[in-house]
A and B are shown apart, each in its own frame.
Chain A
Amino acid sequence: MNWYRFLVVFPLGYLALFLIYPLVSILIRSFGYQGETTISPFTYIMGDSYYLTRIWFTIWQAAVSTFLSLIVGLPIAYLFARFEFPGKTILKALSTVPFVMPTIVVAIGLVSLLGPSGILNTTAMNLFNLDNPPIRISNSLTMIFIAHAFYNYAIIVRIVSTFAGNLDQNVEETARMLGASSWRSFYHVTLPLLFPAIASAALLAFAFSFTSFGVVLVLGGSKFATIEVSIYELTTKLFQLPLAGALAIVQLIFTYLFLLLYTKLQERMTVIVGLKPNESAAKKPKTWTEKMFVGSSVLLIILVLSPLISLVIRLFYVGDTHTPSHVANLFSNHRGSFFYLSPIQIMWNSIRFAFTTVIISLVMGTIVAYFLAKPNGGRSSYFDAMFMLPLGVTAITLGFGYIITFNHGILDLRGSSIILVVAHSLIAYPFVIRSILPILRSINPNLKEVSYMLGASQLSVFRHIDMPIIGRGILVGAIFAFAISMGEFGASLILLRPENTTMPVAIFQFLGKPGESNLVNALAMSGLLMALVTTIFIAIERFRFRGLGSF
C-alpha cells in the first residue's frame, strides 16, 4: 500500500550527492588543513567569548526577527485568506516581491526611505522646519530587524493564508453559533487550527534570519556579525579553515536540534480537521470592523513595500529626466563592454534556472512530504529535521565543497549551470515540504479510507482527493521555489559562464563601480526584476489543473 513511499530514495540520493558529499569533503579538508586533525577548534570556540557572543547574537536576533515577521505577516495572511477586495491578485503578488530582492538593493531602498536624506527625513524636515534628520537608524539593529521583517513576512503570509484558506469555516461558525464572540472563536478555535501552518512559517522565517548574511552586513555593518558571517570571514583566510569548519558544524548542530524540537512539537499539536478543496469563499468585507481590518491590512502591506516604492522613486530621481534614456542604455552595449549581456538574455537566464529549480524542488518536496506525513512511530521527526538541514548549511562552506568535489571527470560541473540549479533547489525544497506537509497531515484520513473502501485505486485517490486539497500547497511551494531561485545570488561560489548571468548578479556587478549611471542601471534592472516576478507570481497562482477543483 505504501510503495510510493520508497520514492523517497530519490530525494535522499539527491541530498547525499549534492549536500552531504561536498559538505563532508570540505569539512574533512578543513580539519585536515595544515596537518591538524584535532578537536581543538571546538574547544577554542567554546572557550572564546567572542564566538559565544556571536552565536548568542545570531540566535536572539533571529528570534526577534521572526517575531516581527509574525506580527506583520499574520494579519496580512488572514486578509488574503478570508477577504475578497479589488486589486487582491496584484497585491498578493506584490506582497511576495520583497522575498526576491537582492540585499544591496533592499539596502539602497531602505536608505532611500529611512536614510538621513531619505524620503521620510526630508519630508519631516520640510514639514517641521528641522535642521537635522529626526530618524537616525542607519547601521543599527533597528535597520536589521526592519529588513528581516521586510524579507520574511511573505513566508508567513503565503504559508498561513493558504492553510487558512483551506480550513473548514464550519468549525468556527459552529463556535460562534454556540455563543462565542468573534475574538473568542478566533483565539480558541481558529488559532489552534492554524498552529501547524504558523509554526511551519515561523520556522522558515527563523532559519532565514538565523543564517542571514547580506542583510546583517550591509545594513548593520561588520560589527553585527552572525555565525554565517564568521564562517565566511574565516574561510577566506585559509589557514583558519579548521575554525571555519568547526563553526559550520556548530551551526549545523544547532539547526538540527532546533528543527528536531520543532518537528516534535508539530507532531503533538497537529489537529486533524476537515480541509476543504474549495477556498472557503473569501468574502467581501461586510461589517464596519471587517472593512477597517481590510483597509488597515492593505495599508500595512503598502507600508512594508515602501522600500521598494522608494527604490522606484529613486530610479526616476537619480536619473532626473534622463532616466528613460538611462534605462534604454541597459538594452544596448553603448560602452562596448566585453561583459555586456542584454537584459532580455539576463531575464531569460533567471527564468529558465528558476523554472528548473521549481520542477526539481516540487518533485523532491512532495515526495518527502508524503514520506513524512505517515506517522512513523516517532521516527519521522528525525527524518523531517534531516531533510530540512539545507536551511542550516553555510553557503560558502557548501560552495567550497562544490569546488573541491565536482571538479574532475564526469562530475566536473564547474562552469555548468547545473550546480546553480542544484544549489537553488536545495534551499527551495524545504519550503515546498513546509507548504505541503501541514496540509497533508491535516487531511481527514476517513476521507481516504472511504474512497479505498469504495474501490478507488491509489492513483485515483491521489488525483481526486489529495491533489485538490494539497494543490494550493503545491502552488505556494512553487512560488517560494521560484522566488528563491530568482533572488538567489551566490556568484562567488558558483562559477558561471558569463553568458549565464542572472538578474541579481547583473545588479551586483553594476554596483561594483562608482557613478550615477551605474546606480541607475542597477535600479532599472531591479525594477525589471520586480515587474518580472510579480507577473510570474500572478501566472503561477492562476495555473489550474483541470478537474482538480477550484481554488
Chain B
Amino acid sequence: MKNKISVVVIIFMVLLTSVNCGNEIRELVVISNDSFDISEEVIKEFEEANNAIVIIQKAGSSGEILTRAILERGNPSGDLIYGIDNTYLTRALDENIFIQYESPMLKNVPEKFLLDDTHHVTPVDYGYVNLNYDKAFLEKADLLPPTTLEELTQNRWKGKLVVENPNTSSTGLAFLIATVSYFGENDDYDYLDFWDDLKANDVVVKDSWSDAYYTDFSHYGGDRPLIISYATSPAAEVFYSEGKYDVPPTGNVLIDKATFLQIEGIAILKGSKNVGLAQKFIDFTLDTKFQEDIPGRMFVYSVNQEASLPDFFKFAEVPSEPANISSDMISQNRDKWINEWTEIVLR
C-alpha cells in the first residue's frame, strides 16, 4: 500500500509541475475568434523577422471575445484582438478599449473595405454571409433554388431552412441585417413580417453555425437543404473533400441584396505592453504573404487587392450586389433589430 501511495504522490507531483503557470518569455499575444487559422510558416516569418514569439489564443466567437475584451478593459489578456467585424464595430469603439493605429499598408485596401475610418480597427479579410443549398436534396425533391427571399415563405420551402440565432451567432446577425436591408423596416411587408412568415413556415433556429451545418444541413444528414452559411462554403466542401468532389456538392443561392458583406479586422488593445510590436504585426497581416495565406485557411477574401487568390477559389462565387446598409445604421439599430427579431421568432 505504501508503494502504491508513493507512486500516486509522485505522479501527482509530476503532473502538478506540468500544469504550467504561464511563461515569462517576451511574446506577442493575439486573442482571436474560433475561426482564425493561418499557416505555421507565415507566423514563423514574422517571429524570425522580429525576434519574437507569437501566441494566438482562440477565445470563442466574435461576440464572446469582444465581451471579454470589454470586461478586461485596461488589463487585457493579449496585445491584439482579431475578429472584430462590421456588425460589432461600433459597440467595440464605444467601449474605448483600442489603441489607434493607421497602418501604411492600408494603401492597398480599397475604400469599401475600410472597416473603421477612425483607424482603431484595421480590416484584414472579408466574406459574404449567404444562403447555401444542398444540390443532391433539391434535385431529388425536384426543386429549383429560390430566386427571391419571399419564396422562402412559400409552402414548398416549409421546414427546409435552418438559420442561426442573431443573439449568439455573427452569421445569424449578418443575415438578419441583410433581411432588414432587403425588406426594409417600415414598409407594408417589412423584415419582421418576413420573419413571422418564416416562423410559420417552420424555420429552425440554431445558436451556432457548427450546430446548424453539421446537424441540420441535409448534406450532413440533417433534414434542411437550405442554410445560412458563407459564399465560400461550397468551395470549402471541394477543398476539404480529399479529392472526392470535383464540383461543389452544395451551392450558393445568389439573390441580390440578400447577402451580407462581413469585414473582419484586428485591433491593438489598450494596456498592451508591446504596442510597437503589435503595430508591426498589423502591418504584417496586411502584407502579401499573410493575405495570400488566409483564403485557403479561413475561406475568406483578403482586403489587400495585390494578394492573389488560390486556385480552388474558382468555385467561390462573389455575390454581385450585397446588402446595402451603412455601418452607422447598423450601430444605431442592431440591438433593436435583434430584440424585435427575438420577439417575433423565439417568443
Q: Which residues of A contact B (CB under 8 A)?
A: 29, 50, 104, 107-108, 111-112, 115-118, 136, 138-139, 217-219, 221-223, 225, 229, 232-233, 235-239, 320, 322, 325-326, 333, 336-340, 352-353, 355-356, 359, 400, 403-404, 407-408, 412-418, 421, 491-493, 495-498, 500, 508-509, 511-519, 545-548
A512 adjacent to B240 (CB under 8 Å) = no
Give the chain A neighbours of B18 by CB distance below 8 A: 352
Task: Point out the residues of chain B lying under 8 angstroms from A355, CB to CB.
Answer: 11-12, 15
- How far apart are A344's CB and chain B's nearest CB, in angstroms? 15
**Cross-interface CB contact of A337 among B211, B236, B297, cutoff 8 Å:** B297
A229 CA to B206 CA in the complex, in Å?
Answer: 12
Annotate B1-35 by CB proximity to A: 1 below 8 A, 0 otherwise.
Answer: 10010000001100110111110000000010011
Residues of A within 8 A of B1 (CB): 545-548
Chain B residues with Cβ under 8 A from A400's Cβ? 67-68, 71
| Interface contact A104-B210, CB-CB below 8 Å | yes
A516: which B residues are within 8 A, CB to CB? 237, 240-242, 244
In the complex, chain A residues whose CB is within 8 Å of the CB of B59: 491-492, 495
In the complex, chain A residues whose CB is within 8 Å of the CB of B347: 50
Query: Are B67 and A513 in contact (CB-based, < 8 A)?
Result: no
B239 near A: Cβ within 8 Å?
yes
Residues on the A chain within 8 Å of B233, using CB: 514
Q: Are B207 and A217 in contact (CB under 8 A)?
A: yes
Q: How large is the interface on B (under 10, 10 to 19, 20 to 34, 35 or more residues)?
A: 35 or more
Quick check: B240 and A352 within 8 Å, CB to CB?
A: no
B21 adjacent to A416 (CB under 8 Å): yes
CA distance A218 to B221 in the complex (A): 14
In angstroms, Cα B4 to Cα A517, docked, is 44
> When A492-B59, A547-B1 are in contact, do A403 and B72 touch as well, CB less than 8 Å?
yes
Can you list 15 residue pairs at the A/B interface with Cβ under 8 Å?
A117-B221, A138-B222, A238-B67, A325-B242, A336-B41, A337-B40, A356-B15, A356-B19, A407-B75, A415-B22, A417-B19, A491-B34, A495-B57, A514-B236, A519-B220
Bitwise interface map of B from 191 to 225 toward A, beta carbon under 8 Å scored 1, else 0:
00000000000001111111101111010111100
Is there an interface contact between B218 and A117, defined as CB atoms closer than 8 Å?
yes
B19 touches A337 (CB 8 A): no
Chain A residues with Cβ under 8 A from B168's Cβ? Answer: 222, 232-233, 236
Using A222-B206, A407-B77, A512-B34 as known contacts, say yes or no to A115 and B223 having CB atoms under 8 A apart.
yes
Chain A min CB distance to B203 (Å): 10
Task: Write out the residue numbers on chain A whose beta carbons fall within 8 Å of the beta carbon of B209.
Answer: 512
- Residues of B contacting A514 with CB < 8 Å? 213, 229, 233, 236-237, 240, 299
- Kindly report which residue of chain B lies nearest to residue A235, judged by CB atoms: B67
Shortest distance in angstroms between A316's beta carbon and chain B's nearest beta carbon? Answer: 14
- On chain A, the residues within 8 Å of B38 by CB distance are 337-339
- Please, how many angstroms separate the alpha-carbon atoms of A136 and B223 in the complex? 9
* B102 at the binding interface (Cβ < 8 Å): no
Residues on the B chain within 8 Å of A111, using CB: 215, 220-222
Return chain B residues, CB-CB under 8 Å to A356: 12, 15-16, 19
Q: Which of B232-257 contact A (CB under 8 A)?
A: 233, 236-237, 239-242, 244
Q: In the complex the two chains form, is B213's CB within 8 Å of A545's CB? A: no
Within the complex, the shortest CB–CB distance from B65 to chain A, in Å, comes to 8
Is B119 engaged at the interface, CB distance under 8 Å to the other chain? no
B346 CB-CB contact with A under 8 Å: yes
B304 contacts chain A at the CB level, 8 A cutoff: no
- With A416-B22, A491-B58: A115-B67 Cβ-Cβ less than 8 Å: no
- Bound form: Cα–Cα A400–B66 in Å: 12
B346's partner among A29, A223, A515, A548 (CB-CB below 8 A) is A223
Q: How far apart are A229's CB and chain B's nearest CB, in angstroms?
A: 8
Q: Which residues on B sit within 8 Å (CB–CB) of A497?
A: 20, 55, 57
In the complex, what's the smallest C-beta–C-beta distance from B234 to chain A, in angstroms? 8
CB of B87 within 8 Å of the partner chain: no
Complex Cα–Cα for A417 and B20 (A):
6
Is A338 a contact partner of B39 (Cβ separation < 8 A)? yes
Q: Do the beta carbons of A338 and B211 come within 8 Å of each other?
A: no
Out of A107, A223, A238, A414, which one reaches B211, CB within 8 Å? A107
Minimum C-beta distance from B26 to chain A (A): 15
B318 interface contact, C-beta 8 A: no
Q: Residue B325 at the A interface, CB < 8 A?
A: no
With A238-B67, A515-B240 already in contact, the answer to whether A336 and B39 are too (CB < 8 A) is yes
* Given known contacts A218-B211, A339-B56, A139 and B77 CB-to-CB distance under 8 angstroms: no
Asked whether B167 is an interface residue with its Cβ less than 8 Å from the other chain, the reply is: yes
Q: Is the pair B57, A513 in contact by a Cβ cutoff of 8 Å?
A: no
Q: How far is the CB of B50 from chain A (nearest CB, A)?
A: 16
Contacts of A235 in B (CB 8 A): 67
B42 contacts chain A at the CB level, 8 A cutoff:
yes
User: Smallest CB–CB gap between B8 and chain A, Å?
Assistant: 8
With both chains docked as a complex, state the minimum distance between the C-beta of A43 and any C-beta of chain B, in angstroms.
Answer: 20
How far is it, in angstroms, between the C-alpha of A515 and the C-alpha of B244 when the chains are bound?
11
Scoring A29, A500, A515 by chain B CB atoms within 10 A of each residue's CB, the highest score goes to A515
Bound-complex Cα distance A518 to B11 (A): 35
Known: A338-B38, A492-B60. A233 touches B167 (CB 8 A): yes
- Alpha-carbon distance A511/B12, docked complex (angstroms): 33
